[in-house]
């Protein structure tokens, strides 16, 4: 009996070791995603969406092997160490805090989902939800605001929103349009504007050259390709709707999801390159705000952030999730700045009013 128990124990340890090696191997593969264009091999980009969970699994294995006093602990330790540069971009480790200078500029970026107008039929309810979102923006007291999906599906909410920003927050200089209803609102004068249109999509980017007291800065509001999984994703995430993979409807559903993911990753690659080109050619320092619909483990993010600072990396704490939907731990909304600009703070506003959270940063201009 003792021999049989020992045999079962060895099998159990080997099974855990095998699972650990698979988790570590998959995590190592995600480290390639920021550098391999999805146009070459898009499954890497899909795998990288699971990065937070692969990190968690490897941490759990470290704890387990430490408890067992087993040298297998080095498998996950080495894997996490190799990707430490990615880990600190996922998990904000900024503990110390310093006072924000009085002359710092508060920047806010927020995808407001058209003020939820497509989801609410009642006019009074739409106005109430729009007001809640605007109040949330108001609590941050931005000097520069960048909005995505900012024009509602009905003109009254849109007109009211811009009037509120002007009257209540003093953001009287406005550049709007392009893609999915993008907006840049500023307390400082806007001197020059343009838009970057992406072919075959409603997503896009706009920029405005803003005259600050001591310099000119170019501010971008961007919204990269949405995945648009819609009801397919909702049904997959509901256990009661998950059926056998042999079912034709289920197979078709997963094929549609795969096709949409591939299309979105490829389009974001092209869009990110266009934005990066515009930034490179810009004669001024830049602030890039917006919804990339992609994580820091993506090719699109690394294409745009090259040469820039990420306010979360500089001053963020914790996971910094900005997506308020059903998929947890996704940071897809960003405030990026030129490397010469100081970042004093980073914060994610926690109210769930849209399917995104507002992102704020205090920067030195």
Q: Where do the domains of the chain lie?
A: 2-90, 105-364
* Residue range 18-44: mean pLDDT, rounded: 95
For residues 152 and 126, is the Cβ–Cβ distance under 8 A?
Answer: yes
Topology given in CATH for the domain delimited by 105-364: Deoxyribonuclease I; Chain A (3.60.10)
pTM of the model: 0.90
pLDDT at 122: 74
pLDDT at 22: 97
| 140-153 per-residue burial string, b: 16 or more CB within 10 A, e: under 16 | bebbbbbbbbbbbb
pLDDT at 107: 97
- Measured CA to CA, the distance from residue 333 to residue 326 in angstroms comes to 16
pLDDT tens readout for residues 146-167: 999 987 656 677 888 999 999 9
pLDDT tens readout for residues 286-304: 999 999 999 999 999 999 9
């Amino acid at each position: 009996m003792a021999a049989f128990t020992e045999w079962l124990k060895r099998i159990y340890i080997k099974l855990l070791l095998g699972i650990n090696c698979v988790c570590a191997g998959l995590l190592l593969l995600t480290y390639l995603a920021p550098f391999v264009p999805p146009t070459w091999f898009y499954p890497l980009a899909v795998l990288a969406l699971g990065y937070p969970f692969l990190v968690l699994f490897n941490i759990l294995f470290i704890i387990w092997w430490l408890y067992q006093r087993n040298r297998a602990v080095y498998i996950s330790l080495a894997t996490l160490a190799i990707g430490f540069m990615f880990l600190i971009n996922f998990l904000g480790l900024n503990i110390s805090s310093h006072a924000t200078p009085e002359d710092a500029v508060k920047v806010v970026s927020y995808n407001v989902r058209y003020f939820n107008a497509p989801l609410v039929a009642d006019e009074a309810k739409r106005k109430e939800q729009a007001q809640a979102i605007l109040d949330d923006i108001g609590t941050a007291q931005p000097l520069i605001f960048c909005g995505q999906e900012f024009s509602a599906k009905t003109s009254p909410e849109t007109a009211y929103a811009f009037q509120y920003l002007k009257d209540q927050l003093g953001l009287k200089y406005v550049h709007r349009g392009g893609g999915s209803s993008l907006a840049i609102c500023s307390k400082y004068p806007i001197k020059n504007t343009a838009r970057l249109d992406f072919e075959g999509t409603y997503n896009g980017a706009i920029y405005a050259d803003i005259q600050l007291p001591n310099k000119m800065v170019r501010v971008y509001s961007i919204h990269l390709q949405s995945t648009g999984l819609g009801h397919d994703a909702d049904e997959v995430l509901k256990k009661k709707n998950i059926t056998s993979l042999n079912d034709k409807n289920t197979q078709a559903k997963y094929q549609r999801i795969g096709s949409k993911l591939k299309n979105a990753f490829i389009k974001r690659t092209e869009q990110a390159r266009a934005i990066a080109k515009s930034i490179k050619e810009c004669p001024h320092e830049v602030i890039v705000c917006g919804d990339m619909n992609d994580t820091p483990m993506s090719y699109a993010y690394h294409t745009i952030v090259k040469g820039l600072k990420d306010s979360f990396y500089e001053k963020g704490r914790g996971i910094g999730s900005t997506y308020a939907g059903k998929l947890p731990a996704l940071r897809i909304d960003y405030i990026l700045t030129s490397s010469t600009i100081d970042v004093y703070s980073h914060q994610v506003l926690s109210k769930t009013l849209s399917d995104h959270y507002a992102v704020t940063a205090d920067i030195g201009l």
